[in-house]
Each structure stands twice: as C-alpha cells, then as structure tokens.
Amino acid sequence: MRNQIRYKKRFTKQPREKAVDEIASEQDIRKELVKLYREEFGKSPDILTSAPGRINLVGEHTDYNGGYVLPIAIDRRTYTAAGRRGGELFIAYSKELSKKTSFEIQPGKFEHSNFWVNYIKGACTLLSDMSPVKGVNFAIGSTVPRGSGLSSSAAYVVSIIEAVSRLHDIKLKDIEVPILAQRIENEFVGVQSGIMDPFVAKFARENNAILVDARSLEYKYVPISDRCSFLVCVTGVKRALATTEYNKRRQQCQIAVVGLAEKLNRNITSLRDVTLEELKCLKNDFDPTLYARSLHVITESQRALQTFAALENDDLEFVGKLMLESHLSLRSNYEVSSPELDAFVEIAEQSEGVYGARMTGAGFGGSAICLVDADREDELAIEIAAKYKARGFEGGYVFIARTGSGSKVEHA
C-alpha cells in the first residue's frame, strides 16, 4: 500500500449506476418483525425498539484508553419486538439465526452453544438489580451484518435494554444505557470493549458524526457534508472479538500505562495522559511493541480531534488524509488489519472519486469504509467491489451507508 498521502480534488459528475446490496425500508422491516412475533407468540408485541450499527470515521482503539472517538450511526439497525409474558421464563427468537430459546434469570448461568442469548441474559440480570424483571417474549431481527465490525452487538444489546427497561417501567437516564451495554459485553460476553459502540447506538444523530470524550463522556455533534457519501466494504472475514486478539491489545495498553508511569515518574491512568513528545523521548528505552501500541493510541486520538475540525470546515480532502493515516497506523503500529482490509483500502485509494479510506471497527477482518464523492457513490460501490473480487477475495461486498439516528422506542 502507498504510504504517500495524496490530496484529492473536487470531482466531475458522472452518470449514476444502481448501487449494490440495498435493504428494505425501515417501515417494511418493522412490519415483518411484528408479523414474525405474532407467528411465534400468538399475539402482538407491546413494544418495538431499535438501535443502529455504526462506522467509526476516526478514533479506533482509543475509547478504552480514555481518548476521543468520532463515530457515525448508519441506517442498518437491530430491531426488537418484545412483550410481557409474566412469570420467570424468557423466550427469545432470532430471525437471522432462525433460533428460539428460553431461559430464566440465574446469575452466572450463561450459554456457550447459544452465545447470542448471553446479551439478553445480561440485560435482564443487570436490570433486575434495579427493579423486578418478569418474563418477556422477544423477536429480534437485524440488517447490521454480524461479525463485520459495524457494531452489530452494541445495536443488539442497546435495543434489548430499551425494550426490557420500558416494559418494566425502569426509568434509566440516557447515559445509563450505554454504560449498562458496555458492562454486559465486558461481564457477560467476555469482550473488554470500550464505551464507543453503545454510546453511538444511544446518542447518534442523523446526518452528523459524534465526537465522544471516552473519559468524561462529554460529546458534541458535527454535520456531515452533503458533498460526500460513505461506502462500507465488508470483507467477508467475520471476527468474533472474544476469540481474537482484541482483549490482548487492551492488556498491552494497560501494561504500557504501568511502564510509562514508572519511566515518567508520575501518575498515569491511561494513555490519554501521555503526550506524543513524552512517548517519543522514550522510544529507545521502551518495549518496541508497547511503544507501537501507545504511538497509535496517542496519534489516533489527535486524529479524531483533527477530523472533527476538518468536518466543521467542510475540508473533505483533509478528512480523507487523516483516514488513510489512521489505517496505516492500525496496520503497522496496532497490527489489527488484515490482507482483505488492506486490499479494500488500497483499491479505494486508487479510485478516482474517493477522498479517503480506512478499516473500521476493531479489525482482524470485518469492514473498511470509504469517503467518496456523493455524485459517484453508485458507480464506485460497483467498481470497488468488482476490483476486490478480482484480487481473489470472493466473500466481500460493498454497500452505501446512509447516516442513522440513535435508539428508538415505539409502542407496537
């Protein structure tokens, strides 16, 4: 891949072609899920909730290091139709998995064969600590591709939290929803994820990116220019975070914090507390792997702030430059990219009409994103997908991602 960054100019309009991998309307998806609920449980649901998947524009692996992130919700969502059943039994049906299961709340009793149920059990268990939670029927459907780095799990668990809390009149503060969701992934699923994914699933605003300070949880929005669109390039390589090196990266950052505190002789609680100048001074006196991990986190957090400012100024060329810098750091310093992700980014960067590209999500497979000229989104989606397959990667596809909003609750 080229390490030289190039700035792209405004593009001339081209004839539109049909985009790939389009989805049904939100209204049709809701109707289908309500129909499925009736078929499974013999009555209508009491409530319908949903939460979005996301792409992360810049700010990868920074949230669990107390840094900044800049995600955007997309128009692919997880939907939960839920209804009261009383008693102690919970029954859940997953449309995508075509699986149905039942359980009772029993602390410490979690499933390995039906891994997806642990998210629901975690939500019901933690909410029952606040107020009694009785049996619920769930029908769950999603248009967020699973295992693709688009936060399908956070969309899923946030929609469940919204459903169970509303059914039992548990009045959560807005900020408590992502905090609970993070606890569920950490304590009940085994992924030491940060706050970003459930935060954007709750607080996202359509046509905006959201800059989140992962330490203070303060946030602010920035509009996305109508001159650009986002392509999501799904590699076809699924990754389950609990079985990859995700947790290992977090552990390495924690070890780096301890080592840096000792060498700098001051209190450091996260890599957020270390400046780039301080880190560079220790380059020859620090473990090379830990140095590289720290270098990524510190510079990536800075890139998130720079990207926010570039969006405010409608400087899409500079946004694209920062996206590529982010990818190169994730590839070389954090070592979480893959041949498939690198191929997608390289193909995109060589395509006229692309401002920038990078992997998105935790890595180890999943997806890449491209920031493209809005007038050429359809043809670029088709072109990039074709070139990816021409390199021998058969499992991937591309779709145009519209921006989405945070979680929604409605009576069915």
Taking only the tens place, the pLDDT of each residue in 328-377 is 999 999 999 999 999 999 999 999 999 999 999 999 889 999 999 999 99
pLDDT for 352 equals 96
Kindly report the average pLDDT of the chain as a whole number. 91
Domain ranges of the chain: 26-55+73-223
Residues 200 and 405: their CA atoms lie apart, in Å, by: 9
This prediction has a pTM of 0.91
Asked whether the beta carbons of 202 and 407 are under 8 A apart, the reply is yes
Which of 140-149, 367-376, 385-394 ranks highest by mean pLDDT? 367-376
Chain segment 291-325, per-residue pLDDT in tens? 999 999 999 999 999 999 999 999 999 999 999 99
The least confident of 75-79, 110-114, 134-138, 211-215 is: 110-114
pLDDT for 239 equals 67
pLDDT for 400 equals 96
Percent of the chain with pLDDT over 70: 92
Query: Which among 197, 373, 375, 378 is annotated as catalytic?
Result: 197
Flag whether pLDDT at 12 surpasses 50.
no
* Stated length of the chain: 412
pLDDT for 244 equals 67
Residues 73 and 91: their CA atoms lie apart, in Å, by: 29
Of the pLDDT bands very low, low, confident and very high (cuts 50, 70, 90), residue 114 is confident
pLDDT for 111 equals 66
Percent of the chain with pLDDT over 90: 80
The least confident of 235-244, 271-280, 378-387 is: 235-244
Catalytic status, residue 197: yes
Chain segment 163-203, per-residue pLDDT in tens? 999 999 999 999 999 999 999 999 988 888 899 999 999 99
Give the CA angle between residues 300, 277, 269 to the nearest 5°. Answer: 65
CATH class, domain 26-55+73-223, is: alpha beta
Flag whether pLDDT at 411 surpasses 50.
yes
Of the pLDDT bands very low, low, confident and very high (cuts 50, 70, 90), residue 5 is very low
Of the pLDDT bands very low, low, confident and very high (cuts 50, 70, 90), residue 24 is confident
3-state secondary structure the chain: CCCCCCCCCCCCCCCCCCCCCCCCCHHHHHHHHHHHHHHHHCCCCCEEEEEEEEEEEECCCCHHHCCEEEEEEEEEEEEEEEEECCCCCEEEEECCCCEEEEECCCCCCCCCCCCCHHHHHHHHHHHHCCCCCCCEEEEEEECCCCCCCCCHHHHHHHHHHHHHHHHCCCCCCCCHHHHHHHHHHHHHHCCCCCCHHHHHHHHCCCCEEEEEECCCCCEEEEECCCCEEEEEEECCCCCCHHHCCHHHHHHHHHHHHHHHHHHHCCCCCCHHHCCHHHHHHCHHHCCHHHHHHHHHHHHHHHHHHHHHHHHHCCCHHHHHHHHHHHHHHHHHCCCCCCHHHHHHHHHHHCCCCEEEEEEECCCCCCEEEEEEEHHHHHHHHHHHHHHHHHCCCCCCEEEEECECCCCEEEEC
Chain segment 59-74, per-residue pLDDT in tens? 999 999 999 999 999 9
Contacts of 410 (CB under 8 A, 6+ apart): 47, 48, 49
pLDDT for 7 equals 32
Strands 136-142 and 90-94: parallel
